[in-house]
Structure 1
Amino acid sequence: MLLLGIDLGTSSVKVSIVDVDTQQMLASAHYPEQEAPIISLQTGWAEQSPADWWEQTQRAIAICHQKGGYNPKDIAAIGIAYQMHGLVLVDKDQNVLRNSIIWCDSRAVAIGDKAFDDIGHEACLSHMLNSPGNFTASKLAWVKQNEPEIYSRIDKIMLPGDYIAMKLTGEITTSASALSEGIFFDFQFNGLSKDIIEYFGFSDSLFPVVKPVFSAHGRVSASVAQALQLNAGVPVTYKAGDQPNNALSLNVLKPGEVAATAGTSGVIYGVSDQLAYDPQSRVNTFAHVNYANDSKRLGVLLCINGTGSLYRWIRSAVAPTLSYQAINQEAENAPLGSGGLRIMPFGNGAERMLSNKQVGAHLHGIDLNLHTPAHIFRAAQEGIACAFRYGLDIMRENGMNPTVIRAGKSNLFLSGLFAQNFVDATGVPVELYNNDGSMGAALGAGIGAEIFSPEEAFSNAKPIQRIEPVNAAFEEIYQSWRGILDQHLASISSNQ
């Protein structure tokens, strides 16, 4: 018996096939090979085509099948992980009405900030655990204000993973976890937020049927099954945002457990059983994958938009012919502290942990006679690690004090130098695992299909490496970096 996991990312879609008995990956593939583009029609805008996501999903599944080693007809359940906070709109015939406004789009910041003030800070934070900010609800309000003709034709709104499930099954569902990441969910009443719905003038009919994350979200249609070489009727039994799913894939399900990832964006995600919130809404709290009315499990999420996106930009601008592995090796040739070069990794939209300010990416202290590409590569890694430390300090203010952080050995954590920088910056050991989002989605499908329990799903998961802090001198680097950031924030505030 097999499980299929789909991870809809910003750069590509990855698919994995996992054996139920061993919980081992039999095949994996991603598409496209080159990073998928982000459509930016104006500064601060970020969109992608849902049709492209579906094409990428089908291609990735086909590539997996071509690798052989398993029978696609043995796939018993499907799980989906997806980039969070995106807005997908369809009409009554399930036709997409516009490109998806994705997670790093900043056009709705002012709308969300005004809603926060008008509804009331305490009301938003105590009921939704977040400000409306730049999340999906505010993006939908932007469409209503600026594209009324499109808004009038909306039958259902979805998050990216809901769309892929719809294409597989023809059914549209959502979950409390998904509604909470869009800031549509009231934790006090365990349902749609009347404050948000009434303030923005949304109709309840726009929202899909709400189901648990681990449940049947539809069955693969006959036509799709034939195209993908699957059995008709295979259930989609799990859907979750990429960060809750990353936590699941690292077996981070209990209060106090913490996960991290450093892909296009950087995230630290901790589980809590308290309906708590940051008074400044710099970190966000959503319903975790195992949230239930009688068993509160919340994911406290710190997000940095510009981590892997900064590294991608530097590769393109400085060393387009080098692989990321080669760049990582070059970074190791530069000294700790990068010869005084400091980089602010904030060039991918408004940063939530910086109170939705758009600070931009900056290189500070560059010496034309000293600094080489290796210094730039290392300074980028150090700057990203410093941004993680800045955010973790905010989480510590809010009671999240991890003694160890779990991460998959992927993306930036493939660099031993970055992993050590992260640990030295935060002061918290990291355990690395061989896992990824598509494998987590596959295991989530097994849980949702009741093939196994969460404990059984991760019975074979063991860390492959543990990294301890070794460079106390990194504190000086962080304080230098922090001083530069504080100057930028003060300058932005004085100009507002």
Structure 2
Amino acid sequence: MLLIGIDVGTSSVKVSVVDAATQRAIVSAQYPDTESPITALKPGWAEQSPDMWWEQAQQAIKQCNNSDKYDPQDIAAIGIAYQMHGLVLVDKDQNALRDSIIWCDSRAVPYGDKAYNTLGHEYCLAHYLNSPGNFTAAKLAWVKANEPETYSKIDKLMLPGDYIAMKLTGEVTTSASALSEGIFYDFLSDGLSTELLSYFGFDKSFFGDIKPLFSEHGKVSTEMASQLGLKAGIPVAYKAGDQPNNALSLNVLKAGEVAATAGTSGVIYGVSDQLAYDPESRVNTFAHVNHAADDKHLGVLLCINGTGSMNRWAKNTFGTDLNYQQMNDLAASAPIGSAGIRILPFGNGAERMLNNKEVGAHIHNLDLNLHDRSHVFRAVQEGIACSFRYGLDIMRSNGMNPTVIRAGRSNMFLSDLFTEAFVNVTGVPVELYENDGSVGAALGAGIGSRIFANEAEAFANIESLKTVSPTTDAYEGVYADWKELLSQRLAVTK
């Protein structure tokens, strides 16, 4: 029995075909080979085409099928993971009305802030566990105010993964987890928030049928099955945002368990059984993949926009002749503390953990007679690690105190230097695993289609590759310097 997992990322779409018997990937494919573009028509804006994601998903599926390592007709279910908080709008013919306003776009912050103040801070935090911020609801409010012609044509509102599922099946569905990440879900009434819809003037008909996350979200149509070489009628049995899905892929499902990723954005994601929230909404709480009204599982999410995006900028600016491994090797040749360079990696939109301020990226203490690119490369990775520490301290102040963090050995966790900086700055060991988002989505499909009896069966074979533990306190001074520079920057940023 085979399962397909589709992971719709910001940089590319990755697809894995997983054998349900072993829970291992038979083959994986990523499309494109280069990183996907982000359109920024104005400062702070970020958009991508939903049809680009769909084309990439098709190409990655076809690459897997062309590997000849399995029979595509043996695929039994499909799962989808996706970049969170993106706004996708379609008309009655299921055509995208505009490019998606994606997760790192900052334009909707004023709309979310006004809703937060009007509805009331206590009300929003109690009912949504978050401020509306620049999440999907606020993005839709921006479209309503600034693109009324587009708004008038809306038939359905979706998140990025919903669009891929719609293209496969022709059906539009949602879940409590999806609605919560858009700030459309009322945790106290366990349903779509009529108060928020009324405040913004949104039509309830914009939303697809609310279904359990682990369930059938439509069957692959005859047309799409023929186009992709699959069987018609196989279910899309799982859809989840990339961070809840990453936690699932690492078997992080119980209260107190914590996962991390360091891709385009950086995330620490902990599971709680309490309807808790950060009073300043700097970290955010959403319904986890296994959340139910009578069995609460919440994901507490710290997000740092400027993570892999900062590392990519450094490579594109100073290391065009290097691959990432060579860049990491050069960074490792510089001393701890990067000979004084400190980098604030916040140049990818408004940062939620900084109260939605657009701080920007900054390089401090650059000495033209002392420093070379190895110091810059190291300072980037240390600055990102310090960002994680800053956010983790916020999570700790709200009761999330991990003793170990699980992470997939991918993206920045492929760098031994970054992994060591992360554990030494945060003081928390990291367990590294092979699984990634596309494998997690495939296993989610196995759970949703009842190929696995339960979550435990889906992860019966998961094994840690290694554990990296703190070994030095040398980063404490680095972090103290870094935090002071951030404090100074925050003081002058509106």
**TM category, shorter:** over 0.9
* Aligned equivalents of 2:228, 2:108: Cα separation in 1: 37
Cα distance between partner residues in 2 of 1:21 and 1:119: 50
The residue number in structure 1 matching 2:406 is 406
Q: Is 1:458 the counterpart of 2:462 in the alignment?
A: no
Q: Give the superposition deviation at 1:149.
A: 0.6
Alignment of 1:478-493 (within 5 A): 478-492=479-493
What does residue range 467-486 of structure 1 map to in structure 2 within 5 Å? 467-486=468-487
What's 2:331 paired with?
331
Counterpart CA distance in 2 for 1:465 and 1:195 is: 48
Query: Hey, what's the Cα distance between the residues in 2 that align with 1:491 and 1:80?
Result: 41
Superposition deviation, residue 338 in structure 1:
0.2
C-alpha distance after superposition, 1:59-82 (max 9, x if no partner): 000111111110000000000000
**Corresponding residue for 1:197?**
197
- CA shift for structure 1 position 109: 0.5
Letter in 1 for 2:473: A
- Give the C-alpha shift of residue 195 in structure 1: 2.1
1:229-240 superposed matches below 5 A: 229-240=229-240
Structure 2 equivalent of residue 27 of structure 1: 27
Taking only aligned residues, the RMSD between alpha carbons, in angstroms, comes to 0.5
State the distance in 2 between where 1:410 and 1:173 align.
30
Give the distance between the partners of 2:72 and 2:335, measured in 1 at CA. 50
Following the alignment from structure 1 to structure 2, what is the Cα–Cα distance between the partners of residues 255 and 47?
34
Report the CA distance between 1:193 and its aligned residue.
1.1
Q: Residue 332 of structure 1 aligns to a residue in which SS?
A: helix
The answer for the alignment partner of 2:278 in structure 1 is: 278
Q: Which amino acid aligns with 1:474?
A: Y
Shift of 1:117: 0.4
Secondary structure of the corresponding residue to residue 189 of structure 1:
coil
SS in 2 for 1:444: helix
SS in 1 for 2:80: strand
The equivalent of 1:170 in structure 2 is 170
Q: CA-to-partner distance for each residue in 1:376-422, whole Å, 9 max, x for gaps?
A: 00000000000000000000000000000000000000001100000
Structure 1 counterpart of 2:88: 88
Map 1:58-207 to 2 at 5 A. 58-207=58-207
Question: Aligned runs of 1:318-467 on 2, under 5 Å?
Answer: 318-452=318-452, 453-467=454-468
Greater alpha carbon shift after TM alignment, 312-321 vs 156-165? 312-321
Distance 1:325 1:63 in 2: 25
User: What TM-score, normalized by structure 1, do the two folds share?
Assistant: 0.99
Report the counterpart of residue 297 of structure 1 in structure 2. 297
What SS is found at the alignment partner of 1:142?
helix
Q: Secondary structure at the match of 2:98?
A: coil
Q: Runs ≥4 in structure 1, deviation > 4 angstroms?
A: none
TM-score by length of 2: 0.99
Any gaps of 5 or more consecutive residues in structure 2?
Answer: none
- The CA deviation at 1:320 is 1.1
SS at match of 1:475: helix
Amino acid corresponding to residue 256 of structure 1 in structure 2: G
Deviation of the 1:233 alpha carbon? 0.3
The answer for the alignment partner of 1:50 in structure 2 is: 50
The code of the aligned residue for 1:57 comes to A
Residue deviations 1:199-240 (CA, integer Å, cap 9, x gap): 101011111100011000000000100111000001000000
Q: Distance in 2 between matches of 1:339 and 1:195?
A: 53
Amino acid at match of 2:325: Q
Q: CA deviation at 1:49?
A: 0.3
Task: Report the Cα distance in structure 2 between the residues aligned to 1:450 and 1:292, rounded to whole angstroms.
Answer: 18
Equivalent residue, structure 2, for 1:39: 39
SS of the residue corresponding to residue 214 of structure 2 reads coil
Gaps of 5+ in 1: none
Give 1:4's aligned residue: 4
Partner SS for 1:16: strand
Q: Percent identity?
A: 69
Letter in 1 for 2:358: Q
Give the Å deviation of 1:28: 0.2
